[in-house]
DNA sequence: CGACATATTGATCGACTTCAAGTGTAGTGG
DNA sequence: CCACTACACTTGAAGTCGATCAATATGTCG
């Protein structure tokens, strides 16, 4: 086994973790020496399915991945959308059997990091471990924010909030272009994230468009008025914990 | 500072973590030597409010605590209900500023564990650290399951599922009595957890009662037919990760 | 072009919210 | 012991919102 075939993978993880706190040169070296293979996933392809106990976790290098659950009548609830640099299923390192599935929402490239390596980090590098732990805590914070949207916000605010969140997260990893970002997904997929019907999602997009807040066409989201969108969505990025702190 | 004033607090944490994996006698000793003070919280009292960066985390010893967010119009979304033995806000050890609030849903007794102690554990005891990490991962798994309920399950299934979850979690910590458990909360509070109106929650309780699945009166939940309730709620306890595994 | 997926819109229906009122039930203070 | 109050529960009625059904665009790809 070679170390990270793709130096970009190590760089992505270093970038991700040093967003939360400074890494020592030794810690960076540990990450660069991680063993991992890079894999491509087709749009819609499952990366991990519910019930499996994978021996690796997936670091997303390109594209969007989702976590989702199916209910008995076949409907789907998407519980997380992951972007470039996210450790999509880091949690399964400890959780063992997956209680949900992970799939490529768009074509994805990802590094598969073996759990034995993560375990070794957890044995020897407490600070790195805390930063990995932290990244799963931020995932949970996003879960909570989505719940607030589903339960107690208007549909417009819920969708607007999602767009604010994605924009903010993508901006941090340099994947926005002004107030635009690529998001090549269908409205039906957005519906499964919001817990709404397709028709209602379509109408909410129309409302965002008519209020000159956001447009989404051709797989590109364009924010027309960031301040008013934030206002209308009650978006407060605190829950993304973007500030660097000693951890 | 003395060690755990209340030996019950250490016992609760030992019990909690050894549910996930066996603890060594050395690890148990580490927990027993933790410094922590025990505090009582009145029903409705805030334990931590959004924006604070507490220096301790709260281990719940008695009663029910919630995590919640308020939205601008004053409505509330409860994102988690915690029971005896839960480390309610362990995540704020790394997250620093709280992105939500924690409150006592019923009168609570809790041990406040300083973050410096948690940090010391994370520096010296990797296995304990992984188990603490795991407990936050299970919180996130519950968040996801709630999202599925809010987005893609019927209201009846959503409420039934919550009752199944609480029953299962309380059973593990010995707080059930046959198919009964104490849950002294109002329907209005349940509404805030489900993201529904009070009226709808009341009607859903009625439906559960009429179908001879569950009753809730006088602060006591009684499950009338566990199998049919599980069936109707599509409850699968996998996401609670109750099995002991090497971690 | 044909086949297919996706987006859009209208129409209808049912579900959920809101408003409103009535019914316990427990607690308080005379 | 009995008003009186407060709170929670329960139910009805009306209205709104969102789901579903259905049909028509609009692409997009072979």
Instruction: Quickly state the pLDDT bin for A4 (edges 50, 70, 90).
Output: low
Q: B143 CB near a chain A CB, below 8 Å?
A: yes
Reduced to 3 states (helix: H, G, I; strand: E, B; else coil), residue B65 is strand
Q: B116 CB near a chain A CB, below 8 Å?
A: no
- Report the pLDDT value the prediction gives residue B3, as an integer from 0 to 100: 57
- Report the pLDDT value the prediction gives residue A3, as an integer from 0 to 100: 56
pLDDT digits (tens, 9 = 90+) for A220-242: 999 999 999 999 999 999 999 99
Above 60 in pLDDT, residue A2?
no
Q: Which residues pair with B48 in a beta bridge?
A: B102
Q: B244 CB near a chain A CB, below 8 Å?
A: no
Q: Chain A partners of B245 at a C-beta cutoff of 8 Å?
A: 96
The pTM of this model reads 0.96
Are the beta carbons of A210 and A200 closer than 8 angstroms?
Answer: no
CA distances from A14 to A32, A86, A168, A220, B86 (A): 8, 11, 19, 28, 32
Element at B81 (helix H, strand E): strand B76-82
Are the beta carbons of A67 and A82 closer than 8 angstroms?
Answer: yes
The reply to whether the CB atom of residue B220 sits less than 7 A from any atom in nucleic acid chain D is no
Are the beta carbons of A149 and B151 closer than 8 angstroms?
Answer: no
Are the beta carbons of A32 and A185 closer than 8 angstroms?
Answer: no
SS (H, E, C) A196-237: CCHHHHHHHHHHHHHCCCEEEECCEEEECCHHHHHHHHCCCH
Q: Chain B partners of A96 at a C-beta cutoff of 8 Å?
A: 241, 243, 245, 247
What are residue B65's phi and psi, to 5 degrees? -120, 155
- Strand D nucleotides below 7 A of a protein CB? 7-13, 17-22, 28
pLDDT digits (tens, 9 = 90+) for B152-181: 999 999 999 999 999 999 999 999 999 999
Contact call for A147 and B99, based on CB within 8 A:
no
Instruction: Quote the CA–CA distance of B179 and B173 in Å, as a whole number.
Output: 14
Nearest nucleotide (C1') to the CA of residue B203? D10
Instruction: Quote the CA–CA distance of B213 and B166 in Å, as a whole number.
Output: 15
Residue B100 half-sphere exposure, CB side, CA atoms within 13 Å?
28
pLDDT digits (tens, 9 = 90+) for A85-129: 999 999 999 998 999 999 999 999 999 999 999 999 999 999 999
Per-residue pLDDT averaged across B100-119, rounded? 96
Nearest nucleotide (C1') to the CA of residue B196? C16
């Amino acid at each position: 086994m070679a170390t990270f075939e793709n130096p970009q993978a190590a760089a992505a993880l270093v970038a991700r973790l040093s967003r939360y706190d400074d890494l020592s040169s030794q810690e960076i070296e540990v990450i660069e020496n991680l063993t991992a293979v890079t894999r491509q996933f087709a749009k819609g392809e499952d990366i991990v399915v519910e019930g499996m106990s994978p021996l690796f976790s997936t670091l997303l290098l390109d594209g969007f991945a989702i976590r989702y659950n199916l209910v008995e009548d076949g409907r789907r609830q998407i519980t997380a959308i992951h972007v470039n640099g996210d450790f999509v299923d880091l949690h399964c390192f400890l959780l063992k059997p997956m209680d949900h599935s992970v799939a490529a929402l768009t074509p994805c490239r990802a590094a598969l990091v073996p759990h034995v390596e993560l375990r070794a980090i957890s044995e020897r590098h407490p600070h790195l471990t805390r930063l990995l732990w932290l990244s799963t805590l931020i995932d949970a914070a996003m879960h909570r924010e989505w719940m607030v949207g589903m339960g107690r916000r208007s549909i417009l605010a819920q969708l607007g909030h999602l767009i604010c969140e994605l924009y903010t997260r993508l901006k941090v990893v340099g994947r926005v272009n002004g107030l635009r970002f690529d998001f090549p997904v269908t409205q039906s997929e957005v519906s499964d994230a919001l817990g709404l019907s397709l028709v209602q999602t379509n109408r909410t997009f129309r409302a965002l468009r008519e209020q000159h807040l956001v447009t989404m066409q051709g797989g590109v989201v364009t924010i027309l008025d960031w301040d008013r969108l934030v206002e209308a969505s009650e978006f407060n990025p605190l829950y993304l914990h973007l500030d660097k702190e000693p951890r």
